[in-house]
Amino acid sequence: MNRDYQFEVQYLLTVTIAVTAAIASDFMRPIFDVRIGYLLLIIIALHIVVINHLYALQQMADVRMESEKELDGYSQYTLFTVTLTIPFLILHAIFLYLYSPISVFIVEGLGISYSNFQYMGISSVKMFMAYLLPLLLTMGLTQRFSKEIFRGLRAFRNINFVVVPEKFKIYQSHEFTEPLFIKVENNGDAEVNLGLEFELPSEVVWVSETGEHKNEFSEELEIASGKSKRYNFELQYNGEDRKTSQFEVILTQNGPEKLKTIDVLLKGDT
């Protein structure tokens, strides 16, 4: 999985600043359980430590160890946890803010004293509104989303998908153009069924072994455990204008998709 660590860290730092400001704010503290904020900051800190370790390993060595793959998988779950905690935190603050006027309405509407309100145990409404209700709403709103996310993570956890180069020039002759290399490797314990496809930009074709020129590629893959599929595509540009373009190489598995975006410079002369 190609991850934009810079964007990921920027996102987490933005969340950290917002949560820290909420904890320090005199306005937010009465309607905000700071313990939840501190817990979120701890998860973010642990997540940043993990991705910093992953990034350092990727920069220092070409070999990817099994422990690194496991850390990468765990970091995706912690990032997802942070993302889900944000709407919970917002709903928590809203409902905790609304608790006071609602409790006054209950007391005055039922004609009971506030002390009796506390004694009768109806104050547990606060616990429901501040914690349980936001949790239920967050789970309900994100149920479909979370299923898709975890389904996608599971689908490609043991799949190594490589496309190189990710940025290159395409000339009018495929002999002058660097071939497009694609590798799909199954590192799991069972055979997998995948789909591989791409559609090239207008006036760009790939030359098959039979000499046929095609603008797109689509193939169903069955890859046994520990095996891989490798492809080399000879590309050429049939246009005259010099321009930039891009296309996507897509790997699918029963719905979830993994994408590689390729940037190309189309040159009408060699």
Give 79-96 as a DSSP string.
Answer: HHHHHHHHHHHHHHHHHH
Task: Tell me the pLDDT tens digit for each residue of 13-48.
Answer: 999 998 899 888 887 777 778 888 898 899 999 888
Domains parsed from the chain with CATH numbers? 5-155 (no CATH), 159-266 (2.60.40.10)
Report how far residue 122's alpha carbon sits from residue 106's, in angstroms, rounded to the nearest whole number: 9
Task: Tell me the pLDDT tens digit for each residue of 168-226.
Answer: 999 998 888 999 999 999 988 889 999 999 999 989 999 887 778 899 999 999 999 99
Residue spans of beta strands (DSSP E) within the chain: 159-164, 167-170, 180-186, 192-199, 204-207, 213-214, 216-223, 228-237, 243-252, 257-266
Which of 58-67, 72-81, 169-178 is modeled with the greatest confidence? Answer: 169-178
Task: Tell me the pLDDT tens digit for each residue of 110-156.
Answer: 555 555 555 444 456 677 777 888 888 888 877 766 666 666 666 68
With a cut of 90, say whether residue 7 has pLDDT above it: no
Confidence label for 256 from pLDDT (cuts 50, 70 and 90): confident
Supply the pTM of this predicted model: 0.55
Least confident stretch, 64-68, 125-129, 195-199, 247-251: 64-68
145: its two tokens: 């989303």
Residue 234 pairs in a beta bridge with 207
Could you tell me which residue, 240 or 27, shows the higher pLDDT? 240
